[in-house]
Amino acid sequence: MNYRHVFHAGNHADVFKHAALTLILEHLRSKPQPFAVLDTHAGIGAYDLTSEGAQRTKENEAGAALVFGRPLAAAPDYAALLAAMNPDGLTAYPGSPEIAARMLRADDRLILCELHPDDAAALKVRYRNDPRLHVHRRDGYEAAVALSPPPERRGLVLIDPPYEAPDEAARVAATLAAALRRWPTGVFAAWYPIKDQAIGDELAAAARAGGFPKTLRAEFLAYPMDGAAMAGGGLLIANAPWKLDEKLDALCRELHPILGEGHGSWQIEWITSS
């Protein structure tokens, strides 16, 4: 309830996560049938990088500021979205709700869940005039299960918590397992921070033990792991779209010399294959 993403908006982990999100949304848009996106920890949608909170940490300077203005051949929609939001220089950064909202078509839907009362109120104001968007002040874990499957039967559930609680990874794993039982064909993407391998290994083990359908583990580290600072971020993606592994590998190859001065690394591997 106390976490505010404005302090971290546009950092190196956001760049990988949000560029990857555009690749998943591109896949969903490639078919004519409508789809739904459920964002379990939505925040406020977009962030002012000139605000006191963002300026206090300036984490975007080692992330979005380094990719802004580049074409990003591996994630052109992400680069184009950053450019569209910032015609006069980088001052705003899109969270996952803003990215999804800008990539929805007329018949697609976006469900945003946020428990923080101020952030939920900000979301409702920001998107009040868009009938495709539905904002709930609601526990995102509960919603991921209760709202699966959506009427569209196509779509994505993005689980992106702050990992402040010691049992956060276990909650993510349990939510994925329960939601996949209800919606075995849905795309589920769970993000996690990387200081060491603990969270990624826990989620991967849960995917294997739970027999998750075709699940991809994708991690991009801007810096070497030291067990203390956040080196990068990862995504565990169940029902990963076709060729997403190849697209994410191309993205990591392009980001590697830009973020972390080339000192980072990445891994893309299938945790389950069916």
Selecting among 160, 167, 201, 226, the annotated active-site residue is 160
- Report how far apart the first and last C-alpha atoms of the chain are (Å, whole number): 36
| Separation of alpha carbons 40 and 38, rounded Å | 6
- Known catalytic residue at 160: yes
| Separation of alpha carbons 127 and 53, rounded Å | 22
* 75 closest CA partner among 216, 235, 192, 244: 244
* C-alpha dist (Å) from residue 23 to 7, 80, 140: 25, 13, 23
| Separation of alpha carbons 57 and 231, rounded Å | 16
| Separation of alpha carbons 131 and 129, rounded Å | 6
Q: Are the beta carbons of 192 and 215 closer than 8 angstroms?
A: no
Q: Are the beta carbons of 130 and 98 closer than 8 angstroms?
A: no
Tokens representing 68 are 């802004």
Tell me which residues are annotated as active site.
160
